[in-house]
Amino acid sequence: MSLTSEDGARVAAEPASGPWRAALRKLVQNRTAMAAALVLVLVVLACIAAPLYAKYVAHTDPFGSNLDGQITIGGKSVPVMQPSPTGLGMTPIGPTWRAQYFLGADNQGRDVAARMLYGGRNSLLIATGSTLICLALAGLVGVVAGFSGGIVDTVLARALDVLWAFPVYMLAISLSVVLISHGLKLGPFTLQADSLLIPVIIIGVVYVPYVARPIRGQVISLARSDFVLASRCLGVARRRILLRDIVPNVTTTLIVFAPLMMALNMLTEAALSFLSIGVQPPAASWGTIILDGEGLLYTRPMVALAPGIAIMITVVMLNFLGDGVREAFDPRAKLRVKSDR
C-alpha cells in the first residue's frame, strides 16, 4: 500500500464529477483497501452464516450447555467434557479440526467455532453501532461548539474534558447493574439489561470527545478561513454557511474516522467483556469468548486464542480500509488510532 500523500491539486484536477465520486473512485483503485474490504465482507458473511454452520456443519446448539455430550471421532465415541482419572476437574475437548468441535469446546461443552461465528455478529454489531452513535454525537457536538463559540463552546468543551477523563469502566459497571432491574426508558425506547444497546451506547459515548475535539478544531479553523469570512462579508446567512461550507467538510472527516473508530471500538468491546460488562451469557461476543477462554488458558488455550486472532484480523483489515479511505477523502488529515484504555 502507499501512504504517500498526494496533494489536493490532483483531486481537484479530476474530471468534474464532484469530489466525492472522485474520492470513491480513488478508493476503489486502492488495491490494499479493496482487499481489506473483501476480507471484511467475508468475515461478515461468515458471521451471518452462523446459524447455517451450527445447524448443518457442527450439528450443535452453541448456546446450550452440553456437559454430557458425546461426539464420534474416527469411529470412536468421545465425551465432550473429559473427566480426569482422579475425579477432579473436567477438561473440555481440544480442537478436533473436524466439522464438529473444530476449535474444541469451552467449559460448558459448547462448540467454540460455532460460538465464534455468533460472537462475531455481536462484536461487529457493537462496533458498527457504537461507531455510528459516536460519529453522530461527535459531529453534532463538534459543529455546535465550534460554530457557536462563546459560552456554548466553553460549556461543551468542558463537558468533553470531563467525559474524556471520566472512568469508563465505572460508568459501564454501574449502568449494567442499574439496567438489570429497572431498564432505562428514553422516550419511546426502553433499554433492557440484555440489550446489545448497552455496550453500544457506552462505547459510543465514551469516544465522543476523541472525535468531537478535532471536529471542533476543524470547524473553528473553517469558520475563520478566508472563504467563510468572504461569504460573511457578502452577507450570506450563517445557516447557509453552515450547510454549504462546514457540514460537507465535517462529513468528510467523519467518514475518514469511521473505519478507524470501528477498529478502536472492537478492541474496547473486548476490554469491557473482560469485566463481564456488555454481552451476557449464554450469548457471545469475541470479547466474552476470550473471557471464557481465560479460565482454560493453560489447558485449552485455543478458546482464548481464536477470538483474539479474529479480533486482530478484523481490526487490521479495518485499519487498512481506514488508510485507504483517508487517502481517498482527505489525504492531509492527521489521524491516529488509539489503543484501548
Partner 1 sequence: MILVMVRRLGEMVFVLVSISVLVFLIFFATPGADPAARLAGRGATPATLAAVRHSFGLDKPLPVQYVLMMKHLFVTQDLTSFVNPGEKVVPAVLQAVPVTLSLVFGAAIIWVIAALVVGVLAAWARDTVLDRLLMLFSLIGVSMPVFWLAEVANLITQARYHDTWLFSWVPALGYVPLSVSVVGWFKSLVIPWTVLAVTYIGLYGRVLRSNLVEAMNEDYIRTARAKGLSERQIILRHALRMSLITLVSMFGLDFGLLAGGGALLIEVVSGLPGVGELTYQALQNLDLPFIMAAVLYGAVFIVVANTVVDMLYAVIDPRAR
Partner 2 sequence: MTDRIKTWLLPGILAAGLLPGFARAATPDASFAQHKGGTLKLVAASAAGTIDPQVNYTNQYWQTFINVYDGLVTFRKTSGKASNEIVPDLATAVPAPTDNGLTYVFTLRKGIKFSNGKPVTVADVVASFERIFKVNNPNAGSWYKFIVGGDACMAKPAACTLPKGVIADAASNTITFHLVSPDPEFLDQLAVPFAVILPADTPAKDMGTVPVPGTGPYMITSYNPQKALILKRNPYFKQWSAEAQPNGYVDEIDFDFGVTDENAVTAIENGQYDWEFDPLPADRLGEVSTRFPNQVHIDPLLADYYAPMNVNIPPFNNKDARLAVNYALDRQALVNIFGGRNLATPACQILPPDFPGYKPYCPYTLHPGTTWSAPNMAKAQALMKKSGEIGQKVTVITDDQGVDPALGTYMASLLNKLGFVATTHVLSANIQFNYIQNTKNKVQISVSQWYQDYPAASDFLNVLLTCGAIHPGSDSSINISGYCSKTFDQHVDAVLKTEISDPAKANQEWAAVDREATDAAPWATMFTPKQLDFVSKRVGDFVFSDQFHMLFSKIWVK
Residues that bind partner 1 (CB under 8 A): 1-5, 158, 161-162, 164-167, 169-171, 173-174, 177-178, 181, 217, 221, 263, 267, 270-271, 274-275, 287, 290, 294, 297-298, 301, 304-305, 308, 311-312, 315-316, 319-320, 334, 336-341
Does 331 sit behind a cis peptide bond, omega within 30 degrees of 0 on the bond before it? Answer: no
How far is the C-alpha of 93 from the C-alpha of 84, rounded, in Å?
Answer: 12
DSSP codes joined into one string, 7-70: -HHHHHHS-SS-HHHHHHHHHHH-HHHHHHHHHHHHHHHHHHTHHHIIIIIS-S-TTS--TT-E
Per-residue x/- mask for partner 2, residues 9 to 48, rule CB under 8 A? ----------------------------------------
Q: Should residue 301 be labelled a site residue for partner 2 when binding is judged by CB under 8 A?
A: no
Per-residue x/- mask for partner 2, residues 104 to 123, rule CB under 8 A? ---xx---------------
Q: Which is nearer to partner 2, 85 or 150 (CB)?
A: 85
Q: Which is nearer to partner 1, 54 or 124 (CB)?
A: 124
- Report, in Å, the least distance between residue 109 CB and partner 2: 9
Q: Which is nearer to partner 2, 225 or 299 (CB)?
A: 299
* The three grid cell numbers given for residue 151, joined into one nine-digit string: 459560552
Are 320 and 312 spatial neighbours (Cβ–Cβ below 8 Å)? no
Residue whose C-alpha cell is 467434557: 81
Nearest CA-CA partner of 260 in 310, 191, 315: 315
Three-state secondary structure call for residue 2: coil
Q: Which does 263 bind (CB under 5 to 8 A by kind): partner 1, partner 2, none?
A: partner 1
- Provide the β-strand partners of residue 81: 92
How far is the C-alpha of 148 from the C-alpha of 333, rounded, in Å?
Answer: 24
Q: Which does 2 bind (CB under 5 to 8 A by kind): partner 2, partner 1, none?
A: partner 1
Q: Which does 91 bind (CB under 5 to 8 A by kind): partner 2, partner 1, none?
A: partner 2
Q: Which residues bind partner 2 (CB under 8 A)?
A: 63-65, 67-68, 81, 83-91, 107-108, 173, 176-177, 180-181, 193-194, 276, 280-283, 295-300
